[in-house]
Amino acid sequence: MVLDLRGSTPEQVRAYLVSLGGTPRPDGTVAGPGWTARLEAGEHHALGAVWPRVVVTFTGDAAAVAAVEKGLRLRAMRAGG
């Protein structure tokens, strides 16, 4: 499962994953019960503007990944900036 989060920084996404039961690892991944997430920082360019972007790649138990992915989507969704 790959999730592309535009407008979020790696620090924000890492904090969201920790709030979902994950623990940061020395290699930069975040691991929780039955799942591991690898974060890749980047930029999104559109209409002459640049926004932060984080691509999150999940591995692990399908049900655990689905649950943490749903929680991460809810936390990353922001209204009004």
Domain range list for the chain: 2-47+59-76
- pLDDT score recorded for residue 7: 86
Q: Write down the pLDDT at residue 78.
A: 66
Residue scoring higher pLDDT (78 or 71): 71
Mean pLDDT confidence for 47-55: 89
Backbone angles phi, psi at 74, to 5 degrees: -65, -40
- How confident is residue 66, by pLDDT bands cut at 50, 70 and 90? very high
First vs last C-alpha separation in the chain = 26
* 2 contacts 54 by C-beta, under 8 angstroms: no
Mean pLDDT, rounded, for 29-57: 92
Tens of pLDDT, residue by residue over 9-22, are: 999 999 999 999 99
pTM: 0.88
Asked if 53 and 4 touch (Cβ cutoff 8 Å), the reply is yes
> According to the model, what pLDDT value does residue 81 have?
46
Cβ pair 32, 22 in contact under 8 A: yes
User: Average pLDDT, stretch 51-58?
Assistant: 93
